[in-house]
Amino acid sequence: MQLTTVMHPYLTEVLRAISLALELDQPTALLHGRRVAAVSSILAERALPEERSEVFCAGLLHDVGAVGMTERLFANPLLAHHPIDRDIDGHAWRSAAILAAAAGAHPTFRPAPCLVLDHHEWWNGRGYPSGKFGSEISLGAQLIRIADSLALAMHEAGKDRKLTLNRLGKRAGKEFYEDIFFLLSEILDNDLYEQLEDIGRVEELCDREIGDLPSSGRPQNCELDPAVEVLVQMLEAKHNYTAGHSKRVALHSRRVASSLNLSSDEIRFSYLAGLLHDVGKIAAPRSVLNKPGPLSKDEWRLMLKHPLFTEAILKELGVPDELLTVVRHVHERWDGTGYPDGISGEEIPLASRIVAVCDTFEGITSHRPYRQRATLPEALEELRRAGGSQFDPAIVEAAAAVVLDQLFLD
Ligand SMILES: [Fe+2]
Ligand SMILES: [Fe+2]
Ligand SMILES: [Fe+2]
């Protein structure tokens, strides 16, 4: 398969990859997103038929920015009703920023940043983050707001449809426009309510909807594939002291691969694998990911699985097997004691060996809360010490030459 295909995945593939990342981060988050997507899309069919696909996509991913929230907030989703918590306030902005990266992936994603930014605005102007009032809030965002409220009210009232609607009805005219509440009451018959309660049927509803989405409109000549950028941003929102790590590893890897005069595909693989090598870490709990110190044995055991999660997410995105293999083996060691497969020497793909060296170089020359950043001579000494055990010594020397050429300093 040509690399150009990697860079322009279809809308369904992008949605499935982001959905899996959401689910690995927090399984309840994907169920919530699916419920909101299903309801807002049915509402849009009646109230905004020309934007149904757009509302569905934004509904599914409306809380994608919650990957940056603390465990405390995840432990209590009902806190989402509280409009003054700054961390919750921040999630609408974060969702919009992350989906702005996806906007180039497909025209259907284009309105998503605006829709998700406003998904907590209230009809009476008392919502957040901007305090918009009445029809200042787009109709699509209003549909996502009431679908979101319905999903949270179902969480509180359980099987009782009447109780759920009563609770929502008290907020009509305040949180949402009354007519939208009446429309929801009309469509929310017993059958739909039961479907929304059943995890399997919600999944089916969404899968059907994803299958029906338009599949044209691939972007052209993107330097950075928008879907890849979304995944990296999601990880970095969760893994809070590594901002920019993946991008820097990608750039270092591209320089080292170029200095070795590799083919353009291998250079591209090195760059993409650098960007994507840690994406599966989104499955690790925040307490482990952001621990300001060495990990315990059990925590390490969890982290050792991350290349497998990276691979699973990238499979959803439809990247070719060759790139999957490179990404899978970034954490192998030259002496065969790495993970996940313990392969050694030249069995490890060349691009994986390049990314491995650049990953460590970037890590030790960046600030971390638990240790001082290394100077360039210290970093080179550390890499050379690990040449022949952790790293391919030839790649260490190639990376050192690039460093000495000052290329890492621009
Ligand atoms: Fe939200
Ligand atoms: Fe939500
Ligand atoms: Fe890394």
Distance CA 296, CA 279 (A): 21
Which bound ligand lies closest to the C-alpha atom of 153? Answer: 2
Which bound ligand lies closest to the C-alpha atom of 276? Answer: 3
Question: Residue 224 domain-assigned?
Answer: no
Query: HSE of 395 in the Cβ direction (CA atoms, 13 Å)?
Result: 33
Question: Residue 223 domain-assigned?
Answer: no
Which bound ligand lies closest to the C-alpha atom of 32? Answer: 2
Distance CA 278, CA 286 (A): 14
Neighbours of 155 (CB within 10 A): 14
Question: Residue 147 domain-assigned?
Answer: yes
User: Same domain for 174 and 322?
Assistant: no
Which bound ligand lies closest to the C-alpha atom of 355? Answer: 3
Question: Residue 231 domain-assigned?
Answer: no
The two three-digit tokens of residue 150, written as one number: 């319905």
Task: Please list the ranges in the chain whose pLDDT falls under 50.
Answer: 1-8, 72, 74-75, 80, 83-84, 86, 217, 220-221, 223
Cα 197 to middle of ligand 3, angstroms: 39
User: Same domain for 94 and 146?
Assistant: yes
User: Same domain for 202 and 248?
Assistant: no
User: Same domain for 74 and 154?
Assistant: yes
The two three-digit tokens of residue 127, written as one number: 């919502």
- Number of independent structural domains in the chain: 2
Angle at 391 between CA 386 and CA 395, to 5 degrees: 115
Question: Residue 2 domain-assigned?
Answer: no
Cα 144 to middle of ligand 2, angstroms: 9
User: Same domain for 207 and 301?
Assistant: no
pLDDT score recorded for residue 87: 55
The two three-digit tokens of residue 186, written as one number: 């009309």
User: Same domain for 391 and 298?
Assistant: yes
Q: What is the DSSP string of 78-118?
A: GGGG-TT-HHHHHHHHHHHHHHHHHTTT-GGGTTHHHHHHT
Which bound ligand lies closest to the C-alpha atom of 246? Answer: 3
Cα 159 to middle of ligand 2, angstroms: 19
pLDDT score recorded for residue 215: 64
* Total number of residues shown for the chain: 410
pLDDT score recorded for residue 168: 95
Which bound ligand lies closest to the C-alpha atom of 358? Answer: 3
pLDDT score recorded for residue 273: 94
pLDDT score recorded for residue 43: 97
pLDDT digits (tens, 9 = 90+) for 38-92: 999 999 999 999 999 999 999 999 999 888 676 545 445 555 455 445 456 688 9
Cα 137 to middle of ligand 2, angstroms: 17
Cα 146 to middle of ligand 1, angstroms: 11
Domain that holds residue 324: 239-409
Cα 148 to middle of ligand 2, angstroms: 5
pLDDT score recorded for residue 72: 45
How would you class 357 by CB atoms within 10 Å of its CB: exposed for 0-12, middle for 13-18, buried for 19 or more?
buried
- This model's pTM is above 0.85: yes
Which bound ligand lies closest to the C-alpha atom of 368? Answer: 3
Kindly list the protein residues that place their beta carbon closer than 5 angstroms to ligand 2, a single-atom ion. Answer: 63, 148
